[in-house]
Structure 1
Amino acid sequence: MADIDIYMKLATLPDDMKKEVGDFVDFLKSKAKAKRKVEVQRKAGLAKGLIKMKEDFDEPLNDFEEYL
């Protein structure tokens, strides 16, 4: 639904109902904000032990000997 359609419906409501609509919009915005906060939270260390590095990881690569 387009914003203009929502506005046109809102414009025809009595003032007391407009207040209810405004309160509901505020509720929806706070609900969406709370949901985003839950999704963003992360816990460090969940992948610990899943990645293994070889002993020679820091050693120079043979392919680059001519550049060194």
Structure 2
Amino acid sequence: MKINNLHLKIDQLPFSLQEEVNIFIDQLLAKLPEKKEKKQPVYGSMKGKIKILDGFDDPLEDFKDYI
């Protein structure tokens, strides 16, 4: 259904029924799950949580044949 058609149909209703449609739409919207705001990461918030071990960049023994 196109929005324009819906708008035209609602406009044809008497005001009291338009109010009922408005209440019904509010009830439908209340059923929708709330959208959670996506938090922006804070610069430096992971400091000290990740550790890179010594030898991280050393070649792997499994790939010696390819080096």
Scaled to the shorter chain, the TM-score interval is 0.5 to 0.7
Structure 1 unaligned blocks of 5 or more: 41-56, 64-68
Matches within 5 A, 1:49-60: 58-60=53-55
- Percent of matched pairs sharing the same residue: 26
Distance 1:17 1:26 in 2: 14
CA RMSD of aligned residues (A): 1.9
Does residue 62 (structure 1) correspond to residue 58 (structure 2)? The answer is yes
Does residue 27 (structure 1) correspond to residue 27 (structure 2)? The answer is yes
Higher helix share: 1
| 2:31 alignment partner, SS class | helix
Distance 2:12 2:2 in 1: 16
Structure 2 unaligned blocks of 5 or more: 37-51, 60-67
Aligned residues: 43
Stretches of 4+ moved more than 2 A in 1?
A: none
